[in-house]
Amino acid sequence: MGYKIGDTATVSKTITDDDIRTFADLIGDHNSVHLNDEFASQTRFGRRIAHGMLSASLISTCIGTQLPGNGAIYLSQTFKFVAPVYPGDTVTARVTITKIREDKPIVTLETVCFNQNEELVVKGEAVVLVEE
């Protein structure tokens, strides 16, 4: 496979208001906490937050384009949403190989996302089939 335990890759993106609105339209999640300033100001967050899956989708980008890369197929993914992401935050997804099966082309990766302040916002684990 050419990979080893500990291999790591990252992808970063600044989450814009347009990204949040486009994502809401794409998936149909128009929850006011994501789209309405007045509503969101009354929540525990005090302002609008990005969809958790918008940040988590950067993990998929990292897996599909960086590590393992082209041809990688998700088998499973867990997520824990640890902290909110706000419009204007820069999110970095990092994937790290933690296990490589010897009997099949399958790798397990630690998956995390951090904001620009190095605060953990998403954590989880992915299992991926590697088609080479």
pLDDT per position as a tens digit, 70-98: 999 999 999 999 999 999 999 999 999 99
Q: Is residue 69 part of a domain?
A: yes
Nearest to 94 by CA among 58, 65, 69: 58
| 96 found inside a domain | yes
Kindly state the tokens that stand for 30.
Answer: 């128009």
**Residue 65 included in any domain:** yes
pLDDT at 2: 85
Q: What is the CATH number of the domain that holds 77?
A: 3.10.129.10
Number of other residues whose CB lies within 10 A of the CB of residue 66: 18
Task: Encode pLDDT of 17-63 as tens digits.
Answer: 999 999 999 999 999 999 999 999 999 999 999 999 999 999 999 99
Residue-wise pLDDT for 97-111, tens only, equals: 999 999 999 999 999
Residue 91 lies in a domain: yes
Beta strands in 1-132 (DSSP E): 8-14, 72-81, 90-100, 106-114, 120-130
Alpha helices in 1-132 (DSSP H): 17-27, 32-35, 37-41, 52-65
pTM of the predicted protein model: 0.94
Residue 1 pLDDT exceeds 70: no
φ, ψ of residue 119 to 5 degrees: the values are: -85, 130
CA angle 81/11/49 to nearest 5° reads 35
2-9 mean pLDDT: 95
- In which domain, by residue range, is 105 found? 8-15+50-130
Residue 1 domain-assigned? no
Mean pLDDT of the chain: 96
Total domains in the chain come to: 1
Torsion region of 69: left, alpha or beta (phi above 0 gives left; psi -120 to 50 gives alpha): left
